Structure 1
């Protein structure tokens, strides 16, 4: 792990294990230059040049690459002369509009000047390579797939809409007036080699991904801004990502994950042109949906907010795309435990959709479903049940019994029955949902796993500990493999298994799991997330069962304080925790009631 901030690193490792990476000294700078140049150069010239470059590794690599490319017609001494003569002109160019690069202590004049010298040369010798670098400067600096750069729709449009495999480019400009026919694929490879040879990019070991230094990207963007080309290349970057990023559903997760870091970069590049702004909003909406499915409420909220604002300005409040974005933002709020914010948005979306699309349109029913789930989080079981009964009947009539949305509705209603102690009603519906999902979606689909987990919770509440444990172990192992070990649903499964262990009197097993769950939730969701507070409550009960009364009291008191503040004094979970705390304070004997379980999975 590397960081610029010692304080951050000190939270991860002991001070004795921190290695300080100091600035490069003269000997190492000379060695690096000689290695990159690959030929012998006058020692004094190398010393003077590396000193002028302030021993900055990136500047040294760029300078050596330039000299190597133009050798023997250019010497180290000549490059040094050009470098010294370029100082005022180059730095003033890259200081355009306030000197944004100067905010970074690494962005010294030496790096900016060597970059400008090399880029000027590339523009003259291979304009298409300069264009490619312009495009690449907007991506995340690591893991840029070649599939995003070659053969994309934007480039085909520039070539008149002809498929790339059938196009020849005439006269690439590298040999003066000579004309040369070369395929698009070969031209792309030539441009990649040019950029690599000038040390502007590097190529991964697998040969299909590229990387750029962060300061190369910043310098390139500043040059584009100074020359009025920033919006043009920003637009191409957004169009490519919008074209390539799929919907964030389960089947597309691997592809979404591959491109997600580049969409995170796109968040900071909001375009001005209307058509491009629409594509930018759509891209962020799909990425927010993917982030939400992966349990990432921070990125989901950021992207959904920006998509909502863009679409609101473009289309108005009643447009379907705008409502979709509001819906996504509400889900992100709910995932982050901001239930009041979620409820406010979901009520607004539901009422608008009833007016615009009608009360039984699938989108309207989805909005009602999401609002009912927020009511569940708030402990408003009757309000949730009323909406869910209405939705399930409409889903059956409009979409059919086996439609995924119908199954979600039935599963949610079963969970509401479960939270109200109607175990038999819940079990009957959950068995129906689980078997149908296994057949329709497959045994490892995330929705199928939710159905199995909910059935396990019903078994646990009926005292069928072994049945619950068997299903919960199955769910945890599958989720670790499919979703990852720190996905909220995976951690939820571990929390539920801990509750099953507790109810069996296996308190040490419960403690081990609950400690892991609480620490993971603190790190991933934050201390004040409702799910983290559930973990605190459950662990406090386990401490009490193990006879660790003082530790249990302290943890439960903190849980009560935070639940009272965040959920309100009347929320069922707050009431449950307060009751336990008051009883523990009143007498020393262990409390016999069960810990409250994690908010029902839906």
Structure 2
């Protein structure tokens, strides 16, 4: 300001050069007022007195927050950047994420740490608030002339801030969200001269002086960039880290509730500070009737209650008075602003609010010239502005009458605006978008208030239905990316024509979910699709029947076969009435029903329907039609399940050859038929033929379908199973590991196929005696199956049985029995008393009783299993023969030789007729019969059979196959029993050395072979050689199986017997007492092995002349003083399961 004084000797006006407005003050002598003409513009201006420049201070309108939570290094970043000359920093983020709170904390810290720095606070939400903030700065620094009516406050402040002599300063521009406040034609400042050239935008009043820094908080990235000049000057502020959110909740509540509840609560609130603070305020205001637990329950109950809670405004002293403390209202401000600026961007946000919050693909959102969506203009709140329905300004790109380039450009502009306001984020590639869940909820409530919610919900359903494909494998990747959005759409309740579109979307979604083993969600989708189709189209419509069939397939996969059967019957009967009995859809529905019978073990009913479908298809469609060939494959699978190998093989060869001719050798259907034929070979023990086909299928699948295709993985598993059955453990393990890892990556760790691959690998460990590794996998499979499929699902029961078998092999009888009983009882309830799986569970329980010497209980179950199988499957079915062999083994253990022999002979003769003389099961039956002869001392008959078994296995399986080694050990045992020591020793050495090479030095079978050889040395009086082997076996078993495992106890007893023979009584007694006491604890006082241990100890006492102690023990039955362990030739055969129309890996 220019100030001029006049004395009595000088009566004139002094004007200096000034490029701005000249303000003159006149000091006249008394009585001369009329002599001077004052400037009209300032005639009434009051005189100002000079003010003393104040010391630096802060104009922060908010006190420090005692509950403030420091969030990582954000404050440090602000401080570091503000330390540089002319610094500008912007905190950018969604409303409510705590930008202003960070700015408040920073302002107070800088003011406290550096008292010589001015700290100014300007609320930048509107032009008026900015002017008010500049006025506050002018007052704080006591700018001369600020009180003049026409004072240009922004210019005065700008001049002061630019003058480095005034010291250092930091200015906070809070809530600078509107670009127009700083840059548009309406946000200008200057003298009202009428000349637009003299007017300036507010942004120009922010100096870039070396002595000052500007900190901006904004929701608008574009404005942040304009105000700071560089992307590097922008600090993005998102939701809090979970630990910080928990700390904030604790400080707001005064104490932290249960950790789980607190974590769930802050996660439900998207870790947004404002939402957390207001939730705490709500809880405290209503305590004790409200609590974090009750708040969380109410929050999750429904969207309406969630919205009510989020609309709560509890007040906050550290938020601007004009700002709402309710998170929903906070974001509504952004929505309204975007709608006014660019309606098409608001429409895009509205559409996105109905998708899942993550992974929203841009290609689904982008409109096209064929898009049927009709977007109506929405009204804002009554107090706000409205744009007319016919607005065609350049800011609205919601119309679809331009070129594709216009559409693309408009879409990209919409995305840019939403990203600028931090309402959405994009992934690294920019192809997919993400929204916070609470932002989506707020958007939907905003739409609800304007009556537009249903419009955009229907748009979402239409876009998804047009984008989500069917559930075939080739569509899986697209389905995977979109499935979460289908799950969200599952909860919608559309109306009108959209209902049919929604039902189709859920049908495709359910189809994909079924293929992924996600049966619960598949069931829900299929069920809702069915109801919607029935309501819209009627019960007999094709789409309705397809939904019913899909639901039935889901039920079937859940093991709920009765419910599935009921639905399949409904579809079949409807198709017969509506389309004719020979219509392809009718035949398909019959095949589906047959498959349900098949899964229930109702082979005759399944066969009857499959035959009918096959014959009708041949007549109606032709013998080489794909559907006809599928029906033949299904019938063949039924024959295979019944053990009718020749009939199955005949059909499968025919299907395979026809498909090769009709479709080509590398067609997926051809490969499936080859795998089915290989499975039939597999069941017949024709390993080489099975292997040859499985290798061919696997290699072709890799080339044709890809190494990670489910069919390729199945072929690899089938080949691995073939290796396993040939005792080629390393090759089998390598393939099973590869299948498991690929399945985890491709399908997920909890997919049923992944669990099957884990069980297969565990079975390979099981066969190698690697019990701990097997147990670990079986437990994992069982627990995941329980969670994923349910405790009573057939696959879960199988996993429990597998784990129980592992316990049994480790001698953990009680644990095994507990699981086997649970499996049996659940199977009876779930599947029926005569279901094949129920019978298998009963046989497994019987085997556990058998191992514990509980012969009567074992016999009772085995008789029941055998009789039911005879009735259900036939007397010559492989499973029936297995049950007969098991019962015969129980008779043999009880010394009931004639009964055992009778059954073993029957099994052997039937197997020869049914399966062939060289089938593995036939050879097992021969070995079992030979063992019975050996027990009776019928050496010649036993030897004759054992030689035959050994030679056939050598030819059929190879000289080093585990089964071949077992037969050699059995023959050696017969030689030993006859005192033919050299012949026995020769075979046993061969078995031991081959086992070491083939299976490993610590494999249970290797240890058994060493014990057998030691027994031969023992019988020849070669004590040192016997002892050396027995010690090695005992120590390895202690390490491998545990000190109380039955096999370990046997090895200890054998070593004690060797000590006894050498007169080393104390060593023998010490071991025998240990064996006896452990057996009592582990097996029970009346177990045969316990009684044997007592007899052995009595013998040692007797040898020492300790008659009383010996007599005390000798009331028990007399047993052999030196129990000899031989390889058991009783095979507990597990069942194999196959899917209709495709080959599933044979499993143990």
Q: SS of the residue aligned with 2:425? A: strand
* Equivalent pair of 1:538/1:595 in contact (CA under 8 Å): no
Aligned equivalent of 1:25: 69
Q: Contact 1:33–1:64 at 8 Å: present in 2 too?
A: no
Q: What aligned pairs does 1:210-359 form with structure 2 within 5 A after superposition?
A: 210-272=433-495, 274-359=496-581
Provide Cα deviations, 1:94-142, integer angstroms capped at 9, x if missing partner. Answer: xx99543245799994432321111111011001100110111111111
Contact 1:531/1:598 (CA < 8 Å) preserved in 2? Answer: no
Tell me how far 1:158 sits from its aligned partner.
5.1
- Normalised by the size of structure 1, how large is the TM-score? 0.77
1:427 Cα deviation after fit: 2.8
Contact 2:373/2:459 (CA < 8 Å) preserved in 1? no
Instruction: Give the Cα–Cα distance (whole angstroms) in 2 for the partners of residues 434 and 498 of structure 1.
Output: 32
Instruction: Pick the aligned partner of 1:111 from 313, 316, 327.
Output: 327
Q: Deviations along 1:344-383, whole A, 9 cap, x unmatched?
A: 1111111111101111111111111111111111111110
Q: Per the alignment, in what secondary structure is the counterpart of residue 323 of structure 1? A: helix
Q: 2:524 and 2:502 mapped to 1: Cα distance?
A: 14
Q: Distance in 2 between matches of 1:440 and 1:32?
A: 69
Measured at CA, do residues 222 and 264 of structure 1 come closer, stay the same or move farther in structure 2, by a change above 3 Å? same
SS at match of 1:210: strand
Deviating more after overlay: 455-464 vs 558-567: 455-464
The reply to whether residue 378 of structure 1 matches residue 614 of structure 2 is no
* Equivalent in 439, 453, 474 of residue 716 of structure 2: 474
**Aligned residues of 2:90 and 2:218 also touching (Cα < 8 A):** no
1:295 deviates by: 2.2
- The residue number in structure 2 matching 1:162 is none
What is the rounded CA distance, in whole Å, between the counterparts of 1:151 and 1:500 in structure 2? 54
Structure 2 unmatched ranges of 5 or more: 1-66, 92-96, 107-124, 126-172, 188-201, 204-214, 220-273, 283-301, 315-324, 376-390, 695-713, 719-734, 854-1127, 1142-1148
Change (3 A) 1:364 1:99: same
Aligned to 1:484: 747
Contact preservation (8 Å) 1:308, 1:322: yes
Cα distance change, pair 496–203 in 1 and its aligned pair in 2 (3 A): closer
1:489, 1:153 → 2: CA distance? Answer: 43
Where does residue 307 of structure 2 map in the other structure? 101
Distance, in Å, in 2 between the alignment partners of 1:385 and 1:462 is 21
Q: For this pair of structures, how many residues does the alignment match?
A: 542
For 1:529, the equivalent position in structure 2 comes to: 793
> Superposed, which structure 2 residues align to 1:158-237 within 5 Å?
171-173=393-395, 183-237=406-460
Q: What is the rounded CA distance, in whole Å, between the counterparts of 1:422 and 1:430 in structure 2?
A: 12
Q: Distance in 1 between matches of 2:104 and 2:352?
A: 25
The residue that corresponds to 2:388 in the other structure is none
Match of 2:357 in 1: 141
Query: Within 1, Cα distance between the matches of 2:573 and 2:579?
Result: 10
Instruction: Specify the SS of the correspondent of 1:295.
Output: coil
Partner of residue 128 from structure 1, selected from 344, 349, 357:
344
User: Are positions 1:50 and 2:75 aligned together?
Assistant: no
Q: Secondary structure at the match of 2:497?
A: helix
**Whole-angstrom CA distance in 1 between matches of 2:394 and 2:68:** 39
1:437–1:443: 8 Å Cα contact kept in structure 2?
Answer: no
Is residue 861 of structure 2 the alignment partner of residue 598 of structure 1?
no
Q: CA 1:526–1:300 in structure 2 vs 1: closer, same or farther (change >3 Å)?
A: same
Alignment of 1:441-590 (within 5 A): 445=668, 451=673, 454-465=676-687, 471=694, 474-475=716-717, 481=742, 484=747, 486=749, 487-489=751-753, 491-492=755-756, 495=759, 506-508=768-770, 511=774, 514=778, 517-545=781-809, 547-586=811-850, 588=852
Q: Are the counterparts in 1 of residues 778 and 799 from structure 2 also a CA contact under 8 Å?
A: yes
The 2-side partners of 1:563 and 1:448 are apart by 36
Call closer, same or farther: CA 1:261–1:381 in 2, change over 3 Å: same
- Once the 2 structures are TM-superposed, how far is the Cα of residue 315 of structure 1 from its aligned partner? 1.6
Residue matched to 1:421: 643
- The 3 A distance-change label for structure 1 pair 281 and 157 is closer
The structural deviation recorded for 1:398 is: 3.2
Shift of 1:262: 1.3
Q: Deviations over 1:291-326 (max 9, x none)?
A: 222222122111111111111111221122111111
Deviates further, 24-33 or 181-190:
24-33
1:67 paired to 2:177 = yes
> Cα offset for 1:31?
3.9
Deviation at 1:547? 4.3
Shift of 1:441: 8.3
Please report how far the alpha carbon of residue 152 of structure 1 lies from its aligned counterpart in structure 2 after TM superposition: 3.6
TM-score (norm 2): 0.42
Q: Is the 8 A contact 2:100 2:175 kept in 1?
A: no
- Give the aligned partner of residue 164 of structure 1: none
Secondary structure of the 1:67 match is: coil
Is the 8 Å Cα contact of residues 557 and 581 (structure 1) preserved in structure 2? yes
Shift of the alpha carbon at 1:456? 4.6
| Contact 1:499 1:597 (8 Å CA) reproduced | no
Partner of 2:1051: none
Mapped partners of 2:309, 2:559: distance in 1? 36
Give the equivalent residue in structure 1 for 2:620.
398
Would you say the 8 A contact 2:595–2:1140 is kept in 1? no
CA distance in 2, matches of 1:71, 1:484: 53
State whether residues 518 and 535 of structure 1, in contact with CA within 8 Å, keep that contact through their aligned partners in structure 2: yes
- The more displaced of 533-542 and 481-490 is 481-490
Distance 1:542 1:456, change over 3 A: farther
User: 1:429-444 maps to which residues of 2 (within 5 A)?
Assistant: 429-433=651-655, 440=663
Please say if residues 140 and 261 of structure 1, whose CA atoms lie closer than 8 Å, have aligned partners that are also in contact. yes
CA contact (8 A) 2:103 2:217 kept: no
The 2-side partners of 1:398 and 1:418 are apart by 26
SS in 2 for 1:25: coil
Measured in 1, the distance between the counterparts of 2:548 and 2:516 equals: 19
Distance in 1, Cα, partners of 2:75 & 2:308: 28
Residue 421 of structure 1 aligns to a residue whose secondary structure is coil
Contact 1:534–1:598, Cα closer than 8 Å, also in 2: no
Aligned equivalents of 1:394 and 1:537: distance in 2?
41
Between 1:421-430 and 1:512-521, the stretch displaced more is 512-521
